[in-house]
Chains A and B, each alone.
Chain A
Amino acid sequence: MRFVDEFRDADKAHALAAKIAALCEPGRQYKLMEVCGGHTHTIYKHGLEDYLPESVTLVHGPGCPVCVIPMGRVDDAIHLASQPDVIMTSFGDMMRVPGSGGSFFDANAEGTNIRMVYSPLDSLKIAKQNPDKQVVFMAIGFETTAPSTAMTMLRAAAQGLTNFSVFCNHVTIIPAIKAILDSPDLRLDGFIGPGHVSTVIGCRPYEFIARDYGKPVVVAGFEPLDILQSIYMLMVQLSQGRSEIENQYSRVVPWDGNVVALKAIGETMELRPYFEWRGLGFISHSALQVREKYAAMDAERLFQVPGVRVADPKACQCGEVLKGVLKPWECKVFGTACTPETPIGTCMVSPEGACAAYYNFGRMNRTRVAEAEVARS
């Protein structure tokens, strides 16, 4: 299939893998973080780690939109959905995320009307079909999805819809990366930059990572060869002692981002003073809220939102996993108490979550598999 198979070519992968291996300095360990959950998913889905030398470790980052939603926000959403005459719309990923009293699916079994949509625009269709109901869109995601929420709000305003609102949980990537860079637990050598976020914000916002922290960043696409090539580009920078922002995903990511999308976000949303991230705690200016001008579309203004802070279950180590301090399998409850069918933590829910990706795709000891293969041959 065109535009897909070219980026999954095993021969090219072998060639790149050899070049990466050749760049490894003996005795040196390389820790590279893929910030975006979409990359984590690709890495596991295609078995990309099989191509990497042992000295190169991929650390999974915080860029999974579902994973960073704290339990209290899920409870707040279910509270909103439980109000009379409310239909909530949500991306499918969110449906199984556990709140303290259960997930959206559980809430639906108890009587709420939370519907899965593929695009926020579908919410407008539902709002028009149900003029006597308030349709609340559970907006989540980084700068990748914020523009589509913004465009939906602008369209609702243009159409004069009065029964559509947004429960805004959009977050921004840069403060999260900063939090990780400032975290003392972790020594990273470089970053595989989030491709889809960068189509919106461009590459400039990462410049501080190279300038102030001396770490290279390569903005990467989402096919396995994209990621492998980005790792190679990072290794070249490291071998030359450079730290720069490079764009591997130039077929999609413009250096300056998407001005139309940024304007739409700016028109409808503004930075919150602070927002709680799952596992990372409160980070100032790290999330978006609906602007005063669009107050009529702000579910947090239209309804009383309890805003209860719910601490994560003590055993849950999503925070450490999101920061890349722990590998998924190092979490105490990974795979036993916390599984995709009964997730405790968000990282086990979303297909972009590191725990879910590892559990569903990578649950085999590669060292052992390699040993067994050597023994056989």
Chain B
Amino acid sequence: MTVDHDHQPGWIGEALAEHDEIEAEGRRQLPLADREQQVLDRIDRARRRRPKVREERITMSHGAGGKATHTLIEAVFLDAFRNPLLEPLEDAAQLAVGGARIALTTDSYVVSPLFFPGGDIGDLAVNGTVNDLSVCGATPLYLSAGFILEEGFPVADLQRIVESMRNAAAAAGVHVVTGDTKVVQKGKADGCYINTAGVGLIERDVSLGVAQAQPGDAIIVSGPIGDHGITIMLARGELDIEADICSDTAPLNGLVAGLLGAVPGTRAMRDATRGGVATILNEIAKAADVGVLVSEDQIPVRAEVRGASELLGIDPMYVACEGRLVAVVPGADADQAVAALRGHPLGEHAAVIGHVREEQPGIVQLKTAFGGTRIVDLLVGDPLPRIC
């Protein structure tokens, strides 16, 4: 029995129609390099098209922080809610209320397992939101906390989670000032989910955003990458690998204040959560329409994280951190920025990993430790669901 494919399943037919639209001219007659370039240009045009969700249902990829997440956000949420405050898609929205500049953000936490080396869902929920505010240049002030609890969840576990939220809030100097509790039937959730929202005050005269990156700028990470993601993966116990690493979950407001104090001209900061440093580099390249070139051997990665990543075939560049930021600063300020970061305990391994350039706008390139070059694209698929 054979299925005739003249009549393609819907999504393939659609994709082919789009292809015909883009492929305007023939390309066989050109010399090889030009033909390849033509294809690359065509792909570039295809990538700049308005994103469209092709799937009929939500899959795990839509939550992975990679391409599918971006497509979902742009095609569904941004499309519906579009406004100038949302549009920059920064970690927090920056708004003016009665003369004051405020940053507002929200984040939900579904990490599994709830408790892991170095932290738990509680401090993650506080630190994550504190960090989203901090990297926008705001001083985090107040948080909300919403809990979705599964019937049967141990109260002792909840108390433990709340206790660590309290400690994290105290460490970051913020207060949880409002909240909400919902309980769902057994099997309708997995133990405990938390949502936190936060507001912060933007006191400095800064206007941060990845779109401000300019050729010549330096790109800095504040410390070794991938600790959180690998810790969670190993904590699940599905792989018989043991390593002495723990999550890097930490509030970044102190570190950010130090950096902005030393380098007021900082162009942008992002905290490298889902999708890792690679995702942020792509966001920079896309938002500012610039090229990004980073060097693999400059990127700090702990030996344990590197080892586990090699074994699992994962690239640490895509693995989540919960206490690391990526900063873009003018090239001339790079040394000062690194010195400022290194002056803080959370930034002692800060390093310049690359720079912004004019060539190849929209594309992130990596000089490999081996000495070759390759692209670092947005991640597709889901190496690690429910990481935060």
Q: Given A47-B373, A110-B57, do A363 and B43 touch, yes or no (CB 8 Å)?
A: yes
- In the assembled complex, B162 has its CB within 8 A of some CB on chain A: no
Contact check, A351 vs B313: say whether CB atoms are below 8 A apart.
yes
Do B4 and A365 touch (CB < 8 A)?
no
In angstroms, Cα B36 to Cα A341, docked, is 21
For the complex, what is the distance from the CA of A320 to the CA of B55, rounded to whole Å? 28
- A137 at the B interface (CB under 8 A): no
Out of B1, B11, B61, B303, name the residue touching A309 (CB < 8 Å): B1
Surface stretch bound by B, among A7-15, A140-148, A164-172: A7-15
Known interface pairs A311-B5, A336-B23, A344-B15. Does A51 touch B372 (Cβ–Cβ under 8 Å)? yes
Residue pair B368, A100 in contact (C-beta under 8 Å) = no
CB-CB contacts below 8 Å: A309-333 with B: 309-315, 329-330, 332-333
A368 at the interface (CB under 8 A from B): yes
> Which residues in B have their C-beta under 8 angstroms from that of A50?
371-373
Say yes or no for A374: interface residue by CB 8 A criterion. Answer: no
Q: A359 interface residue, CB < 8 Å from B?
A: yes
A341 to B15, CA, bound (A): 12
- Which A residues are CB-close (under 8 A) to B380? 96, 340-341, 360
CB proximity of A336 to chain B, nearest CB, Å? 4
CB contact between A46 and one of B11, B306, B374 (< 8 Å): that residue: B374
CB distance from B37 to the nearest CB of A (A): 5
Query: In chain B, what residue has the closest Cβ to A368?
Result: B37
Q: Which residue of A lies closest to B373 (CB)?
A: A47
* Known contacts A310-B3, A314-B5, A363-B43; A342/B15 CB under 8 A: yes
A sample of 5 more A-B contacts (CB under 8 A), given A4-B310, A47-B371, is A1-B310, A96-B381, A314-B6, A336-B43, A364-B40
In the complex, the answer to whether B360 meets A329 with C-beta atoms within 8 Å is no
Of chain B, the residue at the smallest CB distance from A101 is: B9
Which chain B residues lie closer than 8 Å to A108 at the CB level? Answer: 59-60
- Would you call B374 and A362 a contact (CB within 8 A)? yes
Q: Which residues of A contact B5 (CB under 8 A)?
A: 310-314
Minimal beta-carbon separation of B386 from chain A (angstroms): 13
How many B residues have CB within 8 A of the partner chain?
A: 61
CA distance A365 to B30 in the complex (A): 15
Chain B nearest CB, measured from A152 CB (Å): 15
- Among all A-B residue pairs, the 10 with the closest Cβ atoms: A47-B372, A335-B43, A10-B371, A109-B57, A337-B19, A337-B15, A340-B380, A367-B33, A361-B374, A46-B370
Q: Can you report 16 A-B residue pairs in the complex whose CB atoms are below 8 A from each other?
A: A5-B369, A9-B370, A47-B371, A48-B372, A105-B59, A109-B56, A224-B372, A307-B1, A309-B1, A313-B8, A335-B46, A341-B71, A341-B380, A363-B375, A364-B365, A365-B33
Q: List A residues 226-263 near B (Cβ within 8 Å).
A: none
How would residues 23 to 48 of chain B score, 1 for a CB under 8 Å from any chain A CB and 0 otherwise? 10000000001011101101100100
Chain A residues whose CB sits within 8 angstroms of the CB of B371 once the complex forms: 10, 13-14, 47, 50-51
A362 and B37 alpha carbons, distance in the complex (Å): 12
Query: How far, in angstroms, from A105 to B63 measured CA to CA in the complex?
Result: 13
Indicate which residue in B56, B60, B374, B383 contacts A45 across the interface (CB closer than 8 Å): B374
Q: Is A105 within 8 A of B60, CB to CB?
A: yes
Interface residues of B in 330-388 (CB under 8 A from A): 359-360, 363, 365-375, 377, 380-381, 383
- The 0/1 profile, CB within 8 Å of B marked 1, for residues 344-375 of chain A is 10000001000000011111110111001000
Does A206 sit at the interface, judged by CB under 8 A? no
Contacts A110-B57, A341-B68 given; does A364 touch B363 at CB 8 Å: yes
Q: Report the count of interface residues on A (CB-CB < 8 A).
A: 65
Contact B59 A372 (CB under 8 A): no
Q: Is A106 an interface residue (CB 8 A)?
A: yes
B9, A48: Cβ atoms closer than 8 Å: no
CB neighbours (8 Å) of B363 from chain A are 363-364
Per-residue contact bits, chain A 8-48, to B (CB 8 Å; 1 contact, 0 not): 11100110000000000000000000000000000011111
A220 nearest CB across to chain B (Å): 15
Chain B interface residues (CB < 8 Å from chain A): 1-6, 8-9, 11-12, 15-16, 18-19, 22-23, 33, 35-37, 39-40, 42-43, 46, 54-61, 67-68, 71, 238-239, 303, 306-307, 310, 313, 359-360, 363, 365-375, 377, 380-381, 383
Measuring CB to CB, which residues of chain A are less than 8 angstroms from any residue of chain B?
1, 4-5, 8-10, 13-14, 44-51, 92, 95-96, 100-101, 105-106, 108-110, 118, 122, 224-225, 307-315, 329-330, 332-342, 344, 351, 359-365, 367-369, 372
In the complex, are the beta carbons of A8 and B19 less than 8 A apart?
Answer: no
Q: Could you tell me if A224 and B370 are in contact, using CB atoms closer than 8 angstroms?
A: yes
Rounded to whole Å, the gap between the CB of A208 and the closest CB of chain B is 32
Residues of A within 8 A of B61 (CB): 96, 105, 341
From B3, which residue of chain A is reached at the shortest CB distance?
Answer: A310
Closest chain B CB from A6 CB (angstroms): 12
Residues of B within 8 A of A308 (CB): 1-3
A1 near B306 with CB under 8 A, answer yes
* Min CB–CB distance B238 → chain A (angstroms): 7
- A304 nearest CB across to chain B (Å): 14
Please give, as numbers and ranges, the residues of chain A lying within 8 Å of B377 by CB-CB distance: 340, 359-361, 363
B239 to chain A: which residues have CB within 8 Å? Answer: 118
By a CB distance below 8 angstroms, the chain A residues around B71 are: 341
Say yes or no: B374 contacts A47, CB within 8 Å: yes
A336 touches B18 (CB 8 A): yes
CB contacts (< 8 Å) of B381 on chain A: these are 95-96, 340
B219 CB to nearest chain A CB (Å): 19
B57 engages A329 (CB within 8 Å): no
Distance from B370 Cβ to chain A, minimum over Cβ atoms (Å): 4
Measured between alpha carbons, how far is A224 from B374 in the docked complex, in Å?
13
- Residues of A within 8 Å of B373, CB to CB, are 47, 50, 364, 369
Closest chain-B Cβ to A374's Cβ sits at a distance in Å of 13
Report the bound CA distance from A10 to B368 in whole Å: 9
Contacts of B306 in A (CB 8 A): 1, 4
Task: For the complex formed, measure the closest distance between the CB of B76 and the CB atoms of chain A, giving whole angstroms.
Answer: 15
